[in-house]
């Protein structure tokens, strides 16, 4: 009995001690009740994650990593939902600091949602986009333009949303942010601008495909004439080369028409570095092929140099050394004028370098021959 009573007494005492300990602990435990401020900070954390995932989704699409873009899109949307719940709770206050903080994070959240809309639309038109790019590579420019037009119907309406969100981000007041978020928010704004640039680049590419079909068809004709002219020059068929040069000049003059120059202006704004794969190659080719007036002038100047080279070759064949030398010097002078000109693309620069080499070789050949005129 004594042992049993002792045991009961010990049990009662132990229970009492435990109860007192719980009461004492509760007195000194920090109150973990949520507040509008903690909700605002948490909304910022979720929003910054969402912006980062949205940006990465856009980047993955541009890298043609479609499945990764889809997965990142899903994670961005989950973070957006979490941010929206926290923002709603954070607004249940009269505290101006918290309300301004919530407004800042809402600006960012809306930018993330716009980026996601952009990725969703790009994913939706991706199959048609690939058709447009493949048609272009196959020189089916009208078909490429038709597919590009279909894509633009989906992409263009969102351009204004991107612009509005971009202006909204300029209204972020960095005084009303959690201190650890300020640099992150600045980076998030940069991520938004980068994602917007990628989206707009796809729009620019598709517009160039749509508007540049007629220009590209004429460019193919010019390239064929140019190849024939080069072949004639190589085979000393100088009269045929003269005809090709005259026709080339007429074709280039046609390209100065406002219709063609409008397409060239679009292509000049392309930035292939923002794209990858076939989209990158197509943007680069369009920018090179659709020449603006400066580029056309440079190409025309090159053709004038070729004509002088042709004349010099004819004079040399006829033993007219003085005239051959003069024509060669004139050709070199024309090329020198083009060196400071922008535009024209790397093709004209390459042609000019090759022609300069040929002219210098011809000049040495002329100096080594007696004047028979």
pTM of the model: 0.82
CB-based contacts of 52, cutoff 8 Å, min separation 6:
188, 191
CA distance 137 to 282: 8
Q: Is the per-residue pLDDT at 3 higher than 80?
A: no
229-282 pLDDT per residue, tens: 999 998 999 999 999 999 999 999 999 999 899 999 999 999 999 999 999 999
Res 20: pLDDT: 39
Pick from 124, 169, 172, 111: which is nearest to 151 by CA? 124
* Angle CA 247–248–254, to nearest 5: 95
CA nearest neighbour of 144 among 62, 197, 215 = 215
CATH architecture of 36-211: Up-down Bundle (1.20)
DSSP state letter for 86? H
pLDDT digits (tens, 9 = 90+) for 140-149: 999 999 999 9
More confidently predicted of 10 and 356:
356
Angstrom distances, CA of residue 281 to CA of 1, 136, 287, 329: 96, 11, 10, 38
Three-state DSSP class for 369? coil
Average pLDDT for 150-154: 98
Q: Are 309 and 328 in contact (CB under 8 A)?
A: yes
Average pLDDT over residues 287-297: 90
Grouping H, G, I as helix, E, B as strand and the rest as coil, residue 49 is helix
Q: What is the pLDDT of residues 160-209, one digit of tens each?
A: 999 999 999 999 999 999 989 999 999 999 999 999 999 999 999 999 99
Phi (first) and psi of residue 122, to 5 degrees: -65, -40
DSSP letters, 169-200, are: HTT--TTSS-GGGHHHHHHHHHHHHHHHHHHH
Instruction: Collect all residues with Cβ–Cβ distance below 8 Å to 303 and sequence separation of at least 6.
Output: 245, 248, 249, 252
Q: Is the pLDDT of residue 370 over 80?
A: no
Does 343 have pLDDT greater than 60? Answer: no
Q: Where are the domains of the chain?
A: 36-211, 213-256+291-367
């Amino acid at each position: 009995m004594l042992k049993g009573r002792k045991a009961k007494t010990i049990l009662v005492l132990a229970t009492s001690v435990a109860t007192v300990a719980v009461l004492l602990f509760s007195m000194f435990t920090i109150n973990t009740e949520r507040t509008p401020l903690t909700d605002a900070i948490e909304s910022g954390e979720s929003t910054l994650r969402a912006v980062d995932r949205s940006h990465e989704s856009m980047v993955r699409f541009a890298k043609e990593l479609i499945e990764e873009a889809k997965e990142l899109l899903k994670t961005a949307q989950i973070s957006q939902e979490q941010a929206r719940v926290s923002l709603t709770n954070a607004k249940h206050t009269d505290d101006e600091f918290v309300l301004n903080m919530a407004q800042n994070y809402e600006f960012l959240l809306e930018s993330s949602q716009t980026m996601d809309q952009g990725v969703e639309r790009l994913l939706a038109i991706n199959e048609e986009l690939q058709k447009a790019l493949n048609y272009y590579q196959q020189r089916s420019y009208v078909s490429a333009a038709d597919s590009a037009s279909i894509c633009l119907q989906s992409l263009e309406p969102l351009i204004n949303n991107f612009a509005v969100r971009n202006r909204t981000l300029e209204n972020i007041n960095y005084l009303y942010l959690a201190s650890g978020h300020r640099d992150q928010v600045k980076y998030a704004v940069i991520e938004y601008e980068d994602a917007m640039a990628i989206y707009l680049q796809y729009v620019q590419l598709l517009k160039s495909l749509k508007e540049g079909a007629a220009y590209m068809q004429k460019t193919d004709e010019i390239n064929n004439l140019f190849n024939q002219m080069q072949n004639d020059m190589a085979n000393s068929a100088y009269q045929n080369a003269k005809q090709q040069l005259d026709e080339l000049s007429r074709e280039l003059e046609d390209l100065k028409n406002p219709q063609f120059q409008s397409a060239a202006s679009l292509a000049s704004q392309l930035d292939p570095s923002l794209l990858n794969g076939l989209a990158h190659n197509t943007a680069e080719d369009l920018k090179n092929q659709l020449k603006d007036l400066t580029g056309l002038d440079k190409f025309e100047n090159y053709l004038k140099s070729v004509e002088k080279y042709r004349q010099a070759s004819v004079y040399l064949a006829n033993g007219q050394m003085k005239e051959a030398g003069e024509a060669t010097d004139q050709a070199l002078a024309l090329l020198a004028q083009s060196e400071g000109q922008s535009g024209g693309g790397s093709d004209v620069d390459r042609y000019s370098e090759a022609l300069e080499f040929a002219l210098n070789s011809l000049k040495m050949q002329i100096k080594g021959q007696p004047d028979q005129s």
